[in-house]
Amino acid sequence: MTTTIETPAGPAQPMVLNMGPQHPSTHGVLRVILELDGEIVLSAKPVIGYLHTGIEKSCESKTYSQCITLTDRIDYLAPLSNNLGFCLAAEKLLGLEVPKRAQYIRVLLTELTRITSHLVWLGTHAIDLGAMSVFLYTFREREEIMKIYEYVSGQRMMTSYFRIGGLALEPPPDWLDRVRRVVESLPGHVDEYEDLLTQNRIWLARTKGVGILSAADAIAMGVSGPLLRASGVAYDIRKSFPYSSYDEFDFNVQTQTAGDCYARYQVRVAEIRESLKIIRQAMDKIPSEGPFRAEAPGIIPPSREEMKTSIEGLIYHFKIFTEGFAPPPGEVYQAIESPRGELGIFMMSDGSAKPYRVKFRAPSFVNLQSLPMLCTGRLIADVVTCIGTTDIVLGEVDR
Amino acid sequence: MEPQGHDKDPVVSKLREWDAQAVAEVIEFRGETTVVVPREHFRRAAEYLRSEPSLAFTFLSDITVVDRFPLEPRFEVNYELLSLDLGKRLRVKVRVPGNDAVMPSIVAVWPTANWHERESFDLMGIRFEGHPDLSRILMPDEWEGHPLRKDYPVEGYR
C-alpha cells in the first residue's frame, strides 16, 4: 500500500474550488465555484437558492396585510425598507393617500434602517479584510438604533411597523428624543470608523483598484444602489422617482467615479451622513399630533376606541381581519431605494382579497449577478473583498 | 387599432411610429404605462427601445411572469424598463400561450436578463430561446415542476 499522491502528468490543469455554501465570508449561504490558475481566478460562478423559502408563493395565499410580516424576512437587515416597499405598492394599487405625518415617520425610520444596514455592512466587510475592531464599534451603534425600533414598534428586527395606509401604532411620545440622542452621537462615531479605515494602508491596498465595475457594465448588468453610484451613475430612486414625500427633503446623491471597492466604501460612508441629514429634517417636520394612518373605512382598521364604541367600527374591524380588503384589478410596480439598491415590488390584483401575484425585485439578487465581472482575473483574497462589497443579503437573493 | 397621436405617453407614440404592429394594446393604470407587444415583434421592439437614442431604455429592472391559469393566453411576461436619460419607466407585456410557453431571450440586449430569465424558467416554466445557460437557479436541479404556477399546490406535492 502506497501513500504517495499521484499527480496527473501533462500540462497544468486549472483547479476548481468551491467557496461556500458554508464559508464565513460569504455572509450567508452562497456558493461560488471558482476556477483557478494558482491563485488567479479564471472564472467565478455564483450558485444560489439555498435559502429559497417561496415567499412570493406564500403571499398569494395570504391577505395583503398578512404579507407584510413576510416582507420583514426577505432582507432581514433592512426590514422597514421592505415594509415600506410593500405598503407603497398596495397603496398605489388602492389609490390611497397616506397622511403626511405617517409619511415623515416612514422616511425617518427607513433612513435609520439604511444606517443600520450600512453599519452591518461596514463591520462585516472590515472583518472579512482582517480589521476586527470596526465590527465591535459599528454593532455598538447599531444596537442603539435597534433599541429605537423596539421602542417604536415593539420589535428589534422583524418590525412589521408600516401597515397599508400608515403605521401600526402611534409612536411613544418621547421617541424623538431617543432618535435625537443617536443622531447627535453618530457623526462622531462615523469619524471614528473613518479614522480606522479611510487612510489605513492595508485597507487601501485591499480595496483600491479591486473589483472595478464601469458605469456601462453596471447599467447593462442592472446593478443599482451604492454599487451603481460608486461607478459614477447618479441614480437614486429617492431623487428620480420620489415616494413618501422624499421630494420635500434636501439631500445629495453620493457618487464616486472609480467604481472599485474603495469607492463603494466611500459612497456608503457618505450615505450614512446623508441619511443623518434627512433624519434631522424629518425630526423637524414630524408634527407631534395628527393621524398616523389614512381614513379609509373597509381598508384601514378603525381605532381601538371606535371599534369598541360604534357598531360600524366593530363590523369593519371584523371584516378587515377576517376577509381583508379587495383592491381593484390591475397591476403596479413600485420601486424604492433600499440600502442595497432598487427594491421593486410588482403587485397584481384580480379584485380579490389576496394578491394574485407579488414579485420582489431584490437588489441583492441582481447585484450578485455582477460578481464574476468583479473578480475574474484577480486573486482569491479579492473574491472575499468583492463579495463583501456587493453587500448581499442571501435572504433577499433567494427569497 | 387606435389612431396615431392619441397616446398619452409619448414613448408609446414613438414605438407606434416605428412599427404600428409592435403595439397591440396600451394599458394606463395608476400613472403607469404598459405596452402589450406581440411575441413575434418583441425581440425587435426590445432592441429598438434600448438603442433608440431618444428613448434609451438601457436599464432593465425586472422580469415578472404572471400565470393566469386557467385563462388563455396563460402567461404574461412583464419587462420593467427604465430610461435613465428620460427618467421614465415603461412596462412591456408579452402574452404567451400555455401550450407553447416559449419566449425569445433578451440576454444579448440586456445582459442583466440572464438571471431574471433563469428565475422565470425555474419558477414558471417559460423557456427562453437563445439563453446561454437556461438552468434552474433557486430550486434544486433535480426539482420537478415549476412552483409559482397556479396549478402547483402552495404546500408542494406530497
For A333-371, what is each residue's pLDDT tens digit?
999 999 999 999 999 999 899 999 999 999 999 999 999
How far is residue A182's CA from residue A184's CA, in Å, rounded to a whole number? Answer: 5
Query: Is cis: bond before A21, omega within 30 of 0?
Result: yes
B61 within 8 A of B79, measured Cβ to Cβ: no
Residues 69-88 of B with CB under 8 A from A: 78, 80, 84, 87
- Looking at domain B11-101, which CATH architecture does it have? 2-Layer Sandwich (3.30)
Alpha helix ranges (H) inside chain B: 10-18, 39-51, 113-124
Put simply, the answer to whether B154 touches A335 (Cβ < 8 Å) is no
Candidates B61, B87, B91; nearest CB to A342: B61
How far is residue A96's CA from residue A166's CA, in Å, rounded to a whole number? Answer: 10
pLDDT for position A17 = 86
Candidates B58, B62, B140; nearest CB to A346: B62
A305 within 8 A of A323, measured Cβ to Cβ: no
pLDDT at B153 > cutoff 90: no
What is the residue extent of each domain of chain B? Answer: 11-101
Indicate the fold that domain A70-324 takes in CATH.
Answer: Cytochrome-c3 Hydrogenase; chain B (1.10.645)
Closest alpha carbon within chain B to A56: B148
- C-beta contacts of B1-4 below 8 A and 24+ residues apart: B2/B26
A296 within 8 A of A96, measured Cβ to Cβ: yes
Grid coordinates of A75: 432582507
pLDDT confidence band for B90 (50 / 70 / 90): very high
Candidates A221, A330, A335; nearest CB to B61: A335
Alpha helix ranges (H) inside chain A: 55-59, 64-72, 79-94, 100-128, 132-153, 175-197, 201-207, 215-220, 226-230, 237-240, 261-285, 304-309, 311-322, 363-368, 371-375, 380-390, 394-398
Spatial CA neighbour of A390 closest among A227, A253, A236: A227
pLDDT confidence band for B2 (50 / 70 / 90): very low
Burial label, A7 (beta-carbon count in 10 A; 0-12, 13-18, 19+): exposed
* Selected residue of B138, B146, B148 to mutate for chain A interface (largest A Cβ count, 10 A): B138
Put simply, the answer to whether A357 touches B59 (Cβ < 8 Å) is no
pLDDT for position A121 = 92
Residues 80-139 of A with CB under 8 A from B: 92-93, 95
A71 within 8 A of A60, measured Cβ to Cβ: no
How far is residue A94's CA from residue A299's CA, in Å, rounded to a whole number? Answer: 9
| Residues whose CB is less than 8 angstroms from the CB of residue A208 and which lie 6 or more positions away in sequence, other chains included | A258, A260, A261, A262
pLDDT at B1 > cutoff 50: no
Residue recorded with cell 474550488: A17
Candidates B111, B148, B154; nearest CB to A220: B111
How far is residue A39's CA from residue A380's CA, in Å, rounded to a whole number? Answer: 6
Put simply, the answer to whether A220 touches B110 (Cβ < 8 Å) is yes
pLDDT for position A307 = 87
ipTM of the complex: 0.89
Q: Which positions in chain A touch B115 (Cβ < 8 Å)?
A: 365-366, 369
Candidates B60, B64, B138; nearest CB to A48: B138
Per-position pLDDT tens, chain A of length 399: 556 666 666 677 888 888 878 776 777 788 899 888 888 898 999 999 888 988 999 999 999 999 999 999 898 889 999 999 999 999 999 989 899 999 999 999 999 999 999 999 999 999 888 888 899 999 999 999 999 999 998 888 888 899 998 898 889 989 999 999 999 999 999 999 999 898 889 999 989 988 899 999 999 999 999 999 999 999 999 999 999 899 999 999 999 998 899 999 999 999 999 999 999 999 999 988 888 888 888 888 888 888 899 998 899 889 888 888 899 999 999 999 999 999 999 999 998 999 999 999 999 999 999 999 998 888 988 898 899 898 888 888 988
Candidates B34, B64, B115; nearest CB to A365: B115
Spatial CA neighbour of B144 closest among B129, B128, B157, B131: B157
Q: Which positions in chain A touch B147 (Cβ < 8 Å)?
A: 54, 57
Listing DSSP states for B65-91 in one string gives EEE-TTSSS-EEEEEEEEETTTTEEEE
Does residue A52 sit at the B interface (CB-CB below 8 Å)? yes
A76 within 8 A of A157, measured Cβ to Cβ: yes
Q: Which positions in chain A touch B148 (Cβ < 8 Å)?
A: 56-57
Put simply, the answer to whether A49 touches B136 (Cβ < 8 Å) is yes
Distance from CA of B112 to the nearest CA of A (A): 4
What is the residue extent of each domain of chain A? Answer: 70-324
Q: Computed from CA positions of residues A201, A206, A207, A209, in that sequence, does the dihedral angle turn out positive or negative?
A: positive
How far is residue B30's CA from residue A117's CA, in Å, rounded to a whole number? Answer: 32
pLDDT for position A4 = 66
